[in-house]
Each structure stands twice: as structure tokens, then as C-alpha cells.
Amino acid sequence: MSSLVEVKVPDIGDFDEVAVIELLVQPGDTIKAEQSLVTVESDKASMEIPSTHAGVVRELKVKIGDKVKEGSVLLVLEAAAGAADRQPVDQPKAAVAVAGPVTSPAAAAPAAAPESSSPGGADLECDLLVLGAGPGGYSAAFRAADLGLKVVLVERYATLGGVCLNVGCIPSKALLHVAAVMDEVSHFEALGVSYGKPQLDLPMLKAHKDRVVGKLTGGL
């Protein structure tokens, strides 16, 4: 026997709505638990939403361009008998509980070697360490956290975004946009509109650049 399961959008953080930009499965596909179903995108980042169950896709409830939020139904899945009641995230915990009693002290000895090679205890423990909070780093960290991993994200700057958002691409583009507007205005005289020679206020220009950076990094 089998049962029909509605796969819904899980908690996706602070986003009210996100847009569906890619469908990764189609009706008739056989999928596994935690397999990605759709890719969604906000104004900050994109992410893939995984399936909570294994089974066969019977009906898609969304299409590209749709707006979805937490609780929105993505698709209807025909799951095997009993699969609808299983919670895949609990399976690793059960495996650890069973494996613990049967592990002999001798088998546990190799695990002690890394601990003895490092002086003192660890300040932080995690399942995944991500170095760098640029567009690739924070996307990977958020995705891993969505899948239930305990994640530590290491970044040299006070705000997320890495070199790209803090000191590289975005600040440069903010200043280049001002330069492009100044150049465009300089050609308006041929259209019958004249302006005086531009005067630069460097503190105000820097403040504009900082506002652009702050707007893009503030929601991460």
C-alpha cells in the first residue's frame, strides 16, 4: 500500500515569500528523501528545497515564477506504506543510539587520537565549518543549516558578504554607477541641456557607497 503526501515549504528564515526559479523534478520521477525538488530565490540568495519523503512524484503544485512561503504545497508525493510517518532527520540519531552500545572500547581508541593531538578543549564544535562568508560561503552555510547541520561560518569582516559585498564588487559598482551617470550627463549639451562642471564631495560619495553596501549586507 502507499499514501499520498503533500511536500510543503519548510521554514526558510526571514523571507516572507520567495520565487520559484527552477523545477528539479517532474511528475513520475522517483525521488529520495532530502533530494532537492525546486530552487527558490529571494532578493538576497537562492536555495534548493529538499523533499521530506521518498516516493514517486504524482503532481506538481507550483510552476516557475510562482511565489511560495512557509507551508506552501510544492507537490504531491506517493510515498511507500509507512513512509509518511517517518522523519528522515531522526534516522541518524537512531543509528547512533544503536551503534553506541555495540561499540567496544578498543574500537573507540582511534577516535581519541585527534583529541590528544590538540592542546586543550575546543571552543566551538560543529558538523560543518565554512571558511568565508561571501556569496558562496553564506549560501552553503544557510543550506547546510536548513538540512539540520550545526554550522560555524568564519568571516574576517564584521558583516557577511565577504570581499565581494564589503570591499570588492559591490562598492566598486556603486562608485562606477556614479561615474557612468556623470559621463552620461556630460553629453546632454548636444540635446539642449547644459550642466555645470561636476564637483565631487568625497565624504558624501563614500557615504553613498556605504549605504549601498549596507542595504545588500543588512539582511544576510
pLDDT at site 126: 92
pLDDT at site 30: 94
pLDDT tens digits, 140-195: 998 999 988 999 999 887 777 877 787 788 888 999 999 999 999 888 888 898 88
Mean pLDDT highest for which of 79-88, 95-104, 143-152? 143-152
Of 2-6, 9-13, 120-124, the least confident: 120-124
Residue 99: band (very low, low, confident or very high) from pLDDT cuts 50, 70, 90: very low
pLDDT at site 31: 93
pLDDT at site 97: 38
Q: Mean pLDDT across the stretch 59-76?
A: 93
- Is the pLDDT score of 9 beyond 70? yes
pLDDT at site 89: 43
Of 33-47, 80-94, 140-154, 186-200, the least confident: 80-94
Mean pLDDT, the chain, integer: 80
Instruction: Write a three-state SS string for the chain.
Output: CEEEEEEECCCCCCCCCEEEEEECCCCCCEECCCCEEEEEECCCCEEEEECCCCEEEEEECCCCCCEECCCCEEEEEEEECCHHHCCHHHHHHHHHHHHHHHCCHHHHHHHHHHHHHCCCCCCCCCCEEEECCCHHHHHHHHHHHHCCCCEEEECCCCCCCHHHHHCCHHHHHHHHHHHHHHHHHCCHHHHCCCCCCCCCCHHHHHHHHHHHHHHHHCCC
Residue 112: band (very low, low, confident or very high) from pLDDT cuts 50, 70, 90: low
Of 104-118, 123-137, 164-178, 198-212, the least confident: 104-118
pLDDT at site 198: 87
Q: Mean pLDDT across the stretch 199-204?
A: 91
Residue 93: band (very low, low, confident or very high) from pLDDT cuts 50, 70, 90: very low
pLDDT at site 190: 86
Q: Mean pLDDT across the stretch 111-129?
A: 70
pLDDT at site 76: 94
